[in-house]
Structure 1
């Protein structure tokens, strides 16, 4: 019994991509080939079949009558091949999850804990992007978004990840340049770092300094992580979230001159944009991680 001379799989993939995308360039980009390489594969297939499958024109590629008849057969054959378990790479069996996060939350809280999630959910491929909170610039393609905002205007109570506490922190080198701090009012003699994301008013009021003005000197940092970096560099005192600065406190790179800490009026929340099993698994893990951080902060305060 003689065997039919079958076209190559590469040629069939090139034909299907050209028919679907309408140009050699687009097909080449998808197949990681040059446009000329795709054209050669298609020409070879047409030579083998002894008839044209696609028309070439100024508006792109179009199907001939033979191409219209051949395309569904090719797609059916490719689908059968792709459905075979041995043909599916491990990466193809993973579910991709895209997460948008505010920068400081991502660097200080999320990224260090990610190995725990990936170990528990190896089938989920995470993709992490950063947003700009004050400019309300997020990632429109994200499945989940970690947002910093007011409750309930920008996030709902059910979406809250972490109810944080605020307290002044400073680098040892900065504190050494000033007389010892005996009471909260002494703090006003030091440079106070400022950010529109976290005014000093709540802590100053709780410390009996409600009449003290917001700092109006020095750089204005539109990112909580930048205020931490400036504090670590000895540039001033930061009104910091205990969760974000916990490593710096443990390592002694930042010091807490006063035990007073107040509840933040803006919180981190997790917003679901595209529900999926992977999104639900990540949400459950992240809420649990943040509850543990919250309990750690409370125990440290006592």
Structure 2
């Protein structure tokens, strides 16, 4: 029997053929991407690789979508026969991959401002994953005890748990542009004497007062919050000036909902940690989630301070 190498046959990868067949059948790179759990750009790249190998354009790409060329129609008829033969091979008929699960307990603020906006990034790469996200109350240490992971806010010392630092924040004052217009200017830290200071036991003002050279005690009057996300929402609405941290406030600062009047920062005592039971080593999808979440926190964008 003459080998494929001896016949000088150029065989495309099965991944490129599947991308082509799906896009041709559905009439759209986007719909093919949904079927194959890929991005539309990934489907497009695979089809381009196939066209380069064949030396033929298989699709006409226009402003209204894609359509098969004559060569594309001919190629589709040929590969459909081959795909049906491959599908009929008995060894290819395996049971469905078992579904995996992750139960995560997180603080409300981290879940809302860090995890929630990006979780699709992870779940799309793990289509057999059932993800359960439950909220806890960090100040009162209230939350479900049974979980694969806990995102905790504190000092990182939790008996029986492995704790990995997620955020290494600095804290700084911030307020809405509207509040700054109505109650500013805030040119020096001492100008905060006339501002409405929102406060929280989770992120106290005192470390920042010390860094700014202000011999002030922790505010006691005014509005106090036991949830950092709620405090940030109040600051965005123009309620006052609040101590912020980059991990939570970067989106609000970068889109202009908040401004930071001073470039001075301080190191807080508490940070966010990813925790899991020390007796349960991370493997499989749980290890993947741990690596993904740590990378996500490293990618939190920088912010501009001192406006």
TM range (shorter): 0.5 to 0.7
Alpha-carbon spacing, 1:132–1:248, altered in 2? closer, same or farther (3 Å): same
More displaced 10-residue stretch of structure 1: 252-261 or 97-106: 252-261
Which residue is equivalent to 1:229? 233
Q: Equivalents in 2 of 1:198, 1:119: separation in Å?
A: 34
1:132 corresponds to which of 137, 145, 151: 137
Evaluate the alpha carbon distance shift between residue 300 and residue 178 of structure 1 in structure 2; reply closer, same or farther with a 3 A threshold: closer
Cα drift, residue 216 of structure 1: 1.3
> Residue 215 of structure 1 corresponds to which residue in structure 2?
219
The residue that corresponds to 1:289 in the other structure is: 296
How far apart are 1:245 and its partner, in Å?
0.9
* Distance (whole Å) between structure 2 residues aligned to residue 187 and residue 301 of structure 1: 16
- Partners of 1:166 and 1:188 lie apart in 2 by 19
1:119 shift after superposition: 2.0
Q: Partners in 1 of 2:156 and 2:248 — Cα distance?
A: 19
Query: Structure 2 vs 1, CA of residues 235 and 285 (structure 1 numbering), >3 Å: closer, same or farther?
Result: same
1:174 equivalent in alignment to 2:179: yes
Q: Which runs of 5+ in 2 are unaligned?
A: 1-92
CA contact (8 A) 1:161 1:270 kept: yes
Structure 1 position 156, deviation (Å): 8.4
**Matched residues in 1 for 2:158 and 2:205: separation?**
21
Tell me, in whole angstroms, the C-alpha distance in 2 between the residues paired with 1:154 and 1:227: 30
* 2:107 corresponds to: 102
SS across alignment from 1:268: strand
Tell me which residue corresponds to 1:257. Answer: 261
Shift of 1:158: 5.5
**Cα distance in structure 2, aligned partners of 1:186 and 1:243:** 26
TM-score by length of 2: 0.64
Alpha-carbon distance change, 116 to 179 in structure 1, aligned in 2, over 3 angstroms: closer
Is 1:246 aligned to residue 250 of structure 2? yes
| Shift in CA distance, 271/157, structure 1 to aligned 2, threshold 3 Å | closer
Q: Cα 1:154–1:256, aligned 2, differ >3 Å: closer, same or farther? A: farther
| 2:287 paired residue number | 280
How many residue pairs get aligned? The number is 211
**CA gap 1:156/1:262 in 2 versus in 1, 3 angstroms:** farther
Q: In the alignment, is residue 200 of structure 1 matched against residue 205 of structure 2?
A: yes
Contact residue 175 and residue 258 of structure 2 kept, 8 A: yes
> Alpha-carbon deviation of 1:247?
1.1
The runs of 5 or more residues in structure 1 that have no matched partner are 1-83
* Counterpart Cα distance in 1 of 2:111 and 2:146: 17
Q: Residue 161 of structure 1 is aligned with which of 158, 166, 172?
A: 166
Describe the shift of the 1:173–1:256 C-alpha distance in structure 2 as closer, same or farther (beyond 3 A): same
Q: Secondary structure at the match of 1:213?
A: coil
Q: Is the aligned partner of 1:187 residue 2:208?
A: no
Structure 1 residues 144-175: Cα deviation after superposition (integer angstroms, max 9, x where no partner):
00000114468989511111111100011211
CA distance in 2 between counterparts of 1:221 and 1:128 reads 23
Give runs of ≥4 in structure 1 deviating > 6 Å.
Answer: 153-157
- The alignment yields a C-alpha RMSD, in angstroms, of 2.4
